[in-house]
Amino acid sequence: MNVLTACSGIGAPEHAWRDLPFNFIGCSEIEAFPSAVLKHHYPNVINYGDMNNFRDWKFNEPITALFAGTPCQPFSVAGLRQGMDSPNGNLALVYLGMVERFAPRWVIWENVPGVLSSNGGRDFGSFLGALGQLGYSYAYRVLDAQYFGVPQRRRRVFVVGHISDWRCAAAVLFEPTSLSGDITKSRKKGKRIAPAVTTGAPYSRTGNERVEADALIVNRIVSFGEYVEDTNCLTLKARDSKDNTDLIYRETDHGNYTDSDVAGTLMAQQGKRAVDLVYENHSSDTRIKQVDVSPTIVARWGTGGGNAPHQVRRILPIEAERLQGFTDGYTDITYRGKPAPDSQRYKALGNSMAVPVVRWIGKRIAEVEKANA
């Protein structure tokens, strides 16, 4: 199956589907650093650049699948919510133009949940309506990365369309077990959704399976001097943030701790019990709270945390890669003759997709293709 990606970023589909029966024949990315990452890992895949120029692209083979995660900022509840009236939001319409021109058998589109309510739901309705007018049956679903083996809560809308049969699109995003009523209940103290991550951590293929583990409670600031308990770490962000930072201490033997560069929840060979002490600090509050889960990476790290009596550290790029499900060092490339700067790696990873989620979708498409062969 020949695949073309648009708004390709650092290649989450390419990485997720690398050992599946897909042949990537082109990508579309204009940002310099993500383009360098794509060229480093996939030198034989042509980067066609600006997707607005798709009418000039020529392919010798038909395209089976067209995958794009167009910019989310116009639809995000954290942004200005200009929707498709903004230049970036309009790229969703450009994607539909690509669908019309290349007529792939499969279309896959990803965005933030805010797209469901953008412009009172009319933006998303227009997108789906246009797919229908182009002859595509479709299904859509909100998938959360925490159910797929990565330690972050990251909800994204995925639309899967098929050129004719609606049952094909539905078979990719939905399984019979997902309709059995096994949904997440209200959280209670002493339970959490995702366990500490390991390299071989099992995860739910249906996206709804609840995994129980020991209590991990986070004291999160809501206003000056006021904290609430939470059971999940903050999600990976691509926009500027002034959120809290963390202090990590590693247990060397029972009761003794030393400074650490890697939080235990992100270690490749994490044990069955927590061995780290994590202290949460905010620039607006000198008090420090002990927590059990470190908030995750932001694209450009905030400036808070100056009042801590202990050393404050940023999350490492390798941890950001693990949070998104990429292999270690995936963004650690030579960029403009030098090692890639952390700032570029953080930003690119924050703008990318959770690899295990994309892989699950790819495996489902491959299974449907095989069943209909």
Q: Are residues 113 and 226 in the same domain?
A: no
Distance CA 219, CA 328 (A): 29
Question: How many domains is the chain built from?
Answer: 2
**Residue 206 scores a pLDDT above 50:** no
Task: Look up residue 289 and give its two tokens.
Answer: 């709270």
Q: Residue range 342-357: average pLDDT?
A: 96
Same domain, 12 and 134: yes
Which range scores top for mean pLDDT: 143-152, 239-248, 296-305? 143-152
Residues 326 and 244 in one domain: yes
Segment 264-285, tens digit of pLDDT: 444 433 334 444 444 444 444 4
- Residue-range definition of the domain harbouring residue 242: 218-338
334 burial via Cβ count (<10 Å: 0-12, 13-18, 19+): exposed
Looking at the fold, whether 355 and 314 belong to one and the same domain comes out as: no
CA dist., res. 248 & res. 263, Å (int): 6
Asked whether residue 204 is assigned to any structural domain, the reply reads no
Same domain, 289 and 309: yes
Q: What is the pLDDT of residue 301?
A: 45
Query: Residues 239, 357: one domain?
Result: no
102 in a domain, yes or no?
Answer: yes
Q: Report which of residues 2 and 372 the model is more confident about.
A: 2
Judge whether residue 359 has pLDDT over 60.
Answer: yes
Q: Which tokens in the block code for residue 321?
A: 């890669």
Q: Determine, yes or no, domain membership for 232.
A: yes
pLDDT score, position 300: 46
Q: Quickly state the pLDDT bin for 198 (edges 50, 70, 90).
A: very low
CA distances from 241 to 9, 280, 284, 324, 344 (A): 21, 16, 14, 18, 15
Q: CATH no. for residue 167?
A: 3.40.50.150
pLDDT of residue 200: 38
* 140-181 pLDDT, tens digit each: 999 999 999 999 999 999 999 999 888 999 999 998 764 444
Look at residue 200 and tell me if it is in a domain.
no
**The pair of three-digit structure tokens given for residue 281, joined into one six-digit string:** 């600090």
pLDDT at 17 over 90: yes
Question: pLDDT tens digits for 36-61?
Answer: 999 999 999 999 999 999 999 999 99
Of the candidates 166, 171, 176, the residue with the CA atom closest to the CA atom of residue 208: 176
Asked if residue 290 belongs to a domain, the reply is yes
Place of tokens 């739901």: 121
| Catalytic center residues | 72
Counting residues of the chain whose pLDDT is more than 90, the rounded percentage is 52
- Quote the percentage of the chain above a pLDDT of 70: 59
Instruction: Please report the pLDDT score of residue 347 as a whole number.
Output: 95
Element (H, E) at 264: none
Partners of 24 in beta bridges: 3
Q: What is the pTM of this model?
A: 0.66
